[in-house]
Amino acid sequence: DVKVTQSSRYLVKRTGEKVFLECVQDMDHENMFWYRQDPGLGLRLIYFSYDVKMKEKGDIPEGYSVSREKKERFSLILESASTNQTSMYLCASSLFRVGQPQHFGDGTRLSIL
């Protein structure tokens, strides 16, 4: 079974802090994704990466950056956290092959005070 692990289930930070969310997958997947999930809005893609050091913006990249230095690890960075970034963040991974499903971690519920 694919295992996608997010480093924290719950996180509380203050406005203006730099926040790191970490995600690790153990199945040698090429693709990794960061989403945020808000009630009534479903999942919205923030960034994705299809290879080490490669990244593409998703639908809502503003206020976020990412880092992928190793294949198994994909980090989401909030450069200066704001209250409107309070949300559930989900990481996913998939094989670089047509039709492959994405496999999700359990999510990080981030609160910015």
Q: How many CB atoms lie within 10 A of CB 3?
A: 11
List of residues contacting another protein (CB under 8 A)? 4, 9, 31, 33, 40-43, 45, 48, 50, 58, 90, 92, 94, 96, 98-99, 101-107, 109
Nearer to another protein, 62 or 99 (CB): 99
Rounded distance between C-alpha atoms, residue 109 and residue 113, angstroms: 13
Choice between 4 and 19, CB closer to another protein: 4
Residue 33 Cα to chain centre, angstroms: 6
Instruction: Give the whole-angstrom CA distance, residue 85 versus residue 94.
Output: 25
CB-wise, 11 or 45, nearer to another protein?
A: 45
User: Residue-wise over 5-43: b if at least 16 C-beta within 10 A, else e?
Assistant: ebeeeebebeeeeebebebbbeeebbbbbbbbeeeeeeb
> What is the nearest approach in angstroms of another protein to the Cβ of residue 71?
15
Please list the alpha-helical segments (H only) found in 42-90: none
Q: Which is nearer to another protein, 32 or 112 (CB)?
A: 32
